[in-house]
Amino acid sequence: MSENKTATTVADLTKVKPYGDTLNDGKVEMAFTLPVPYGEEAEECAKQYVKKLGFEEPNVTYYHELAPGYTFFVVYGSAQQTIDYTAIKVPKVEGTVMDRVECGEWIGENVGRDITVVGASIESDAHTVGIDAIIQMKGFHGHFGLERFKHVVPYNMGSQVPCEELIAKAKEVNADAILVSQTVTQKDIHIMNLTKMVELVEAEGLRDKVILTCGGPRISHELAQELGYDAGFGPGKYAEHVMSYIMQEVVKRGWQDKPLIADR
């Protein structure tokens, strides 16, 4: 009895499926809108669509008219595909992550000076939630921002900051790192803005003279590197993740004496 129970409660990480009521039942909840009028035909349309996606036993648990000709659905289905979790390799920011106090102590012992960073939400992005979470003293979700870190001098330039102004500020304060935040992602506007920033930094001849990082709800380390950044920080990352990377990178690059940007 116990052997059978073990066999059905231990997941095979080479064949991972969604978990709902029981292991490997593949149960998935989906929410979507179809451009069809509300009614029984709409319900059947949603079921058939989910089947074409590869799910079995679709069950529409809720549907509602959003507007004439548009219906919203909540549907359950059973996924059949599996993923080999053991084969997944995700690019990650290198280095040891330390908490706020540890970061301050590490900088004092290994850098021997303050680390200066400038950050902003660039171009058309009017949201400061991301950059404030990283820089402002209160931080976010119990994680204090860089203003609370010892041996860190942060400048928060706010939102809708042209890339040229952020770069000029970095040069003015001889920053070690630039933090770029992008919250708005509709139609991949964040990709365009982030690309513009990299191109201007390169045009100024500063690409290897400043640590360039970015963050936002759709940012990953892999995407950031593809766009030309040194590191990317997405959901679940806080000020300590950002500073842990920056301070270790400062030492790695031999910037302990803090040369001027132009002389690095």
Helices (H), the chain: 2-9, 40-52, 100-110, 129-135, 163-172, 189-203, 221-227, 239-252
Please compute, for residue 77, the number of CA atoms within 13 A of its CA located in the half-sphere on the CB side.
Answer: 20
pLDDT, residue 107, reads: 97
pLDDT, residue 5, reads: 45
Instruction: State the catalytic residues.
Output: 138
pLDDT, residue 1, reads: 40
- Asked whether the predicted pLDDT for residue 4 surpasses 70, the reply is no
The DSSP-derived string for 78-133 is E----B-GGG-------S----HHHHHHHHHHHT-S-EEEEEEEBTT----HHHHH
pLDDT, residue 8, reads: 60
pTM summary value? 0.77
For the stretch 82-141, pLDDT in tens is: 999 999 998 889 899 999 999 999 999 999 999 999 999 999 999 999 999 999 999 888
- In this prediction, residues 226-230 reach a mean pLDDT of 96
For the stretch 239-253, pLDDT in tens is: 999 999 999 999 999
pLDDT, residue 78, reads: 97
pLDDT, residue 94, reads: 86
For the stretch 28-74, pLDDT in tens is: 999 999 999 999 999 999 999 999 999 999 999 999 999 999 999 99
Report percent pLDDT > 70 for the chain: 97
User: Which of the two residues, 7 and 30, has the higher pLDDT score?
Assistant: 30
pLDDT, residue 2, reads: 43
pLDDT, residue 257, reads: 86
What dihedral do alpha carbons 157, 190, 196, 211 form, nearest 10°?
60
Q: Which domains does the chain have, with CATH numbers?
A: 11-78 (3.30.30.60), 100-263 (3.40.50.280)
For the stretch 193-219, pLDDT in tens is: 999 999 999 999 999 999 999 999 999
Separation between Cα atoms, residue 152 and residue 220, nearest integer Å: 24
- In this prediction, residues 216-242 reach a mean pLDDT of 95
Residue 42 · residue 71 · CB < 8 Å: yes
- Asked whether the predicted pLDDT for residue 6 surpasses 50, the reply is no
For the stretch 159-185, pLDDT in tens is: 999 999 999 999 999 999 999 999 988
pLDDT, residue 42, reads: 97
